[in-house]
Amino acid sequence: MVGAGRFAPSPSGDLHLGNLRTALLAWLFARTTGRDFLIRVEDLDRVRPGAMDRQLNDLRALGLGWDGEVVKQSDRLPLYAEAIETLNGRGLTYPCFCTRKEILQAPSAPHAPDGAYPGTCRNLSVSEQAEKLATGRNPALRLRSHTDSFTVTDTLRGNVTSAVDDVVLLRGDGVPAYNLAVVVDDGAQHIDQVVRGDDLLSSAPRQAYLATLLGITPPVYAHVPLALNTDGKRLAKRDGAVTLSDQRALGRGSDEVLTMIASSIGLAEPGERVTPMHLAERFDTQKIPHEPWIVATDDHADPSELP
């Protein structure tokens, strides 16, 4: 069977140049390896009205076509419930009553990495659980992990090992957590290649571990560098002309934006006209820079020059 790659945006706002670059890279990785390219909208969390359609229009405008229907996570709740049931049935979950503050204040478990869940609720007795439930708190559901770390393969980074803790599977409000949904969807959609921003690199081992528990073969990853502003911070709306529509407002067409993004990965000369198909012919994973892309937006003047 042909495998698939994917781009999985969260519809919390417009895609910025860094997101568009990740989308182009995901498209190139999939297309140059004979895979399908799928779009999955990760809408279980913050959703801004109209953002999904604008994101899809931007991908189309750059010429990044996809296969099949766009999948939305909010349409797939039964699939996540089924996975939870499987894990429950194997004793691999437990309810967690901790608030964020309690987790931050709890002493961390020996050898646990920063931010790892300290395991406070892992061994509560049934009566302790009942007591906590009686206080009216809605528990989250966590994975009862049986490993401390896991290794994944990343095309750009080699073998990457990082910590696996008891991740949240279902939030206290009953919404499936990102780490569960992403694993279930990648498995159900036969996605065997995950290209995404390297802010998610340290999540890959725990997602891959969870996949193995669900009988899913972990994908091969390629975590690509993020786009940063000239202060070295993650690119954001306040940085100026960061979206395709901002760039259009400055008189740049989608083709010019594609060139700008392609030249940031060594695939086009500045000003050259290219299409995604041209880029696929030139694509070489060895050439992808390992450093962040520094984006200097030029739509606002230096404040010192303002009258």
- Quote the least distance from Cβ 10 to ligand GLU, whole Å: 4
- Quote the least distance from Cβ 288 to ligand GLU, whole Å: 17
The residue (of 39 and 274) whose beta carbon lies closer to ligand GLU is: 39
Task: Give a three-class secondary structure readout of the chain.
Answer: CCCEEEECCCCCCCCEHHHHHHHHHHHHHHHCCCCEEEEEECCCCCCCCCHHHHHHHHHHHCCCCCCCCCEEHHHCHHHHHHHHHHHHHCCCEEEECCCHHHHHHCCCCCCCCCCCCCCCCCCCCHHHHHHHHHCCCCCEEEECCCCCEEEEEECCCEEEEEECCCCEEECCCCCECHHHHHHHHHHHCCEEEEEEEHHHHHHHHHHHHHHHHCCCCCCEEEEECCEECCCCCECCHHHCCCEHHHHHHCCCCHHHHHHHHHHHCCCCCCCCCCCHHHHHHHCCHHHCCCCCEECCCCCCCCHHHCC
Determine whether 233 is an active site residue. no
Q: What would the two tokens of residue 253 be?
A: 């067409």
Catalytic residue among 72, 132, 237, 287: 237
The residue (of 40 and 142) whose beta carbon lies closer to ligand GLU is: 40
- Quote the least distance from Cβ 71 to ligand GLU, whole Å: 12
The residue (of 121 and 182) whose beta carbon lies closer to ligand GLU is: 182
The residue (of 11 and 118) whose beta carbon lies closer to ligand GLU is: 11
Task: List contacts with ligand GLU (CB under 6 A).
Answer: 8-10, 42, 182, 196, 200
Contact between 64 and 23 (Cβ < 8 Å): yes
What residue number has its CB nearest to ligand GLU? 196
- Quote the least distance from Cβ 281 to ligand GLU, whole Å: 26
- Quote the least distance from Cβ 200 to ligand GLU, whole Å: 6
The residue (of 116 and 180) whose beta carbon lies closer to ligand GLU is: 180
Active-site residues, by number, are: 237
